[in-house]
Amino acid sequence: MHRLMSALFVLAVCAGRVDATHAAMTVEVLETFPPGQEVTLGESQVFYLRLAYNTDAPRRIWARPYFEGREVDAYSNPSPRYAQGSGEALAWFSFTKAGLQVDEIRVSAGNSHPRVVANHRLRMVVVDNAAVTTAEPAWIARLRSQAGSVGPDPQALAIAADSAGDSILGGFMLAMLLVGMLGLIAPAWALWRWRGGWRVAAAIPAALMAFVILRIVIGVAFNPTSHNLWPFEILLSGGLASILMLGLWLARRLAGTGQPR
């Protein structure tokens, strides 16, 4: 019984400490931009919150959008560690696509285990383009300059994400182009250099590429729109021809054919 009472006492003390920690930071939403309870936001536009905080220890602050209790996919601000005491903080988020809705913004604070300290109710819809009729208020630039470690401007973050996607797509297309060229060059080189049965084997991928190209030429001659995706046809057949040529090259190596004497 004594041990049970001691355990309950320890739990009560811990709970009291948790409650005290939770009550040690308060955050209030002072204003937003765009303002109002009915907001239409463009997918490349940023929603800012001006916050007032009071904390007894250094903590970070974030704002995240929600709809019907579920978090909405969005970019969000990295946060500096706000010092003990009171002051103002800047939070923002922006969206990755149109067609989203928001009915609540939850402001979280903490370090390793942040918790929700404020809720802001509104109705927000995200569209392809939303006209900005007013200039940004001065508090956005002021709070951004005060918290220099907040990170890059959200507009630049969105541009950087788009640039990264373009770079990945460009690299993929370049790789596919090289594969297609290899599918054309490798069989031609093998027909010129190899002899005997190996030349006959190399004629298979060469015939494949010749058939695809001839089919495209004849099809376009009769119907100019019949092969609008002809680059992909060449790339796919070039990939298959490259695989066949790689297999033949490995087979020749294992057989010792063509090795220097």
State pLDDT tens for residues 27-49: 999 999 999 999 999 887 899 99
pLDDT in tens, 128-155: 877 677 788 999 999 988 876 444 445 4
The pLDDT score that the predictor gives to residue 169 is 59
3-state secondary structure the chain: CHHHHHHHHHHHHHHHHHHHHHCCEEEEEEEEECCCCEEEEECCCEEEEEEEEEECCCEEEEEEEEECCEECCEEECCCCCECCEEEEEEEEEEECCCCCEEEEEEEEEECCCCEEEEEEEEEEEEECCCCCCCCCCHHHHHHHHHCHHHCCCHHHHHHHHHHHHHHHHHHHHHHHHHHHHHHHHHHHHHHHHCCCHHHHHHHHHHHHHHHHHHHHHHHHHHCCCCCCCHHHHHHHHHHHHHHHHHHHHHHHHHHCCCCCC
Q: What is the pLDDT of residue 20?
A: 40
Q: Which residue has the higher pLDDT, 3 or 134?
A: 134
Domains of the chain, each with CATH number or no CATH? 24-151 (2.60.40.770), 163-255 (no CATH)
Whether this model's pTM surpasses 0.95: no
> What is the pLDDT confidence band of residue 219, given thresholds at 50, 70 and 90?
confident
